[in-house]
Amino acid sequence: MAEDAKTAPAPAPADGAAQPRTTIPPIKIVAQYVKDLSFENPNASKTLTTRQAPQVAVNVDVRPNPLEDNRFEVLLNIKGDAKIDDNQAFIVELSYGAIVEFDGEVKKEHQAPLLLIEAPRLMFPFARAVIAEAVRNGGFPPLLVQPIDFADLFRKQIQRLAAAQQASKATAGQA
């Protein structure tokens, strides 16, 4: 990916010393927004009066959608499901969007990593703050979603797709 990044020309040094070059990222965030936010607190009378901390499961999904030219909408979907014993404490769902634009020519094979790794990495701190505030407003301590390794999620998604393709080839070969 680095070979496709634009590099600004290094300014001429006054003392003759070499200056480092500045790399301009090939992606920029044009806009960020909350597309959909839901918070449910179905058992508030039970769960808010206990001193027990809820057990929270967090799921994350990233979906890019092409718009026009070099623009895409990237949706970072985060769902938190919290329970105390068998009682549902809360459910928070956020679809956080960004319009991203490729700066210049980006090869097709580099678009997916930029849309599924770099864009959500830039969006995550803002989505995390929205989730924390919604949960806090629901009467619970803020849910601070741990940082996410979007590169690892991308690798796992590629592995799942490859495994599914292998399975479908094996099934087609047996038919």
Residue boundaries of the structural domains of the chain: 28-141
Q: Give pLDDT, residue 158.
A: 87
Confidence (pLDDT) at 21: 56
**Residue 142 CB-density burial (10 A; 0-12 exposed, 13-18 middle, 19+ buried):** middle
pLDDT of 152 reads: 93
E strand segments, the chain: 6-7, 23-24, 27-40, 55-66, 71-84, 87-102
Query: Looking at this protein, which amino acid is placed at residue 55?
Result: Q
Write the CATH number of the domain with boundaries 28-141.
3.10.420.10
Are the C-beta atoms of residues 111 and 71 closer than 8 Å to each other? Answer: no
Q: What percent of the chain has pLDDT over 70?
A: 84
pLDDT at 53 (0 to 100): 87
Average pLDDT of the chain is 85
> Alpha-carbon distance 153 to 116, whole Å?
9
Cβ distance 67 to 99 under 8 Å? yes
- Sheet (strand 55-66) strand order: 27-40, 87-102, 71-84, 55-66
DSSP state of 2: G
CB 151 within 8 A of CB 124: no
